[in-house]
Amino acid sequence: MAGTVLVTGGTGYIAGELIRQLLAKGWTVHATVRSKAKSEDRLRARLGNPGPDRLMIFEAELMSDEGWAEATAGCTHVAHVASPIAASTPKDENEMIVPAREGTLRALRFAKEAGVGRFVQTSSMAAVAYGRSEKEYTVDESNWTDVTHPDVYPYVKSKTISERAARDWVAEHGDGMEFVSVNPAMVLGPVDDPDFSPSVEAIKQLLDGSIPMAPDLGFAIVDTRDVADLHVRCLEEPGLAGERFLAAGKFYKMMEIATILRRDLPAEHTRKVPRRPMPNWMVSVLALFNEGVRSIKAELGKTRNVDASHAKQRLGWQTRNEEESIVDCAKSLIAHGVVKV
């Protein structure tokens, strides 16, 4: 099955790989970017220069109606991947929350007006697994982040609020348009160019010495190629209205990732990779001076395991080995000169 699909945020880490896989399966793709002048040539080159009959690129932003009607015209499906993400915590949480929520509702509204039948939102594990005080637990599709919890920071709030808003909107206004969400964990894997996603920042910092010791932090890992594959399955599989699929593999602590990098990369590439854990007291001291560290201080010692069996059983989705994703990410960051070793 292949139709015409709009992929928002076309230059992004997940969206670019998703477009690649959709084109390979015969879909016609519309993609939104913030600036055609800055992005179109680079995006086409990244995808092997598909012709305008296969890939059409439109300018549209999350906080403006301009361009959305043209982008959705003729589309049977939408994959709404675009969402604000930052490497550091904004001073005002609404800088992330408002564009995430309003951009999602805008995409839904224009999709409905265009007669789109299936809308897939790229949500996040941030909407599922946070806002809890336990040190170790397992989540599945039934769980939601408690945004009132004091440890919840702006990015987590933005993803939770935007997914809930989308589901509420569809329940009230959807009129038969099917809505599905994909909730990825920490997305790793190869990057295509030096304009990399903040989601791979942890690997970059382990390689370049920005993190001299490994804090007691971690995350479940999933490969960008596997996340894109799950999106394709959600676009193509019939009968998924209201579904929610977690995209995640095993949970790894930073020290475990550092060990994998030292084991599987040439020694000359891992000279700056930390060999010792960072004491929690040191993280607390750093948090006094660094807002980014302060926002994740509450994450120390937590292990959030993810039960992704629903996606595997319902859609036949499979993930590659997480260690492959870690190493492929590191190799591509070095190859593109993002990390100087």
**Hey, CA dihedral for 274, 277, 279, 285, is it positive or negative?**
positive
Instruction: Determine the 3-state secondary structure of 9 from DSSP.
Output: coil
Cβ burial 104-118 (10 Å sphere, 16+ → b, else e): bbbbbebbbebebeb
> What is the structure's pLDDT at 295?
65
Mean pLDDT confidence for 64-77: 98
Our answer to whether residue 25 is catalytic in this structure is: no
pLDDT tens digits for range 157-179: 999 999 999 999 999 999 989 99
**Residue 314, token pair as written in the block:** 């319902």
pLDDT at 228 > cutoff 60 = yes
Q: Which domains does the chain have, with CATH numbers?
A: 4-335 (3.40.50.720)
Q: What is the widest separation between alpha-carbon atoms in the chain?
A: 58
Q: pLDDT band for 341, please (50, 70, 90 cuts).
A: confident
Q: pLDDT band for 197, please (50, 70, 90 cuts).
A: confident
Say what the pTM is: 0.95
Report the Cα–Cα distance between both ends of the chain, in Å, rounded.
Answer: 45
> Given 159, 204, 253, 302, which residue is catalytic?
159
Instruction: Determine the 3-state secondary structure of 186 from DSSP.
Output: strand
Q: Among residues of the chain, what percentage have pLDDT more than 90?
A: 81
pLDDT tens digits for range 281-324: 888 887 777 666 666 777 889 999 999 999 999 999 999 999 99
Instruction: Determine the 3-state secondary structure of 172 from DSSP.
Output: helix
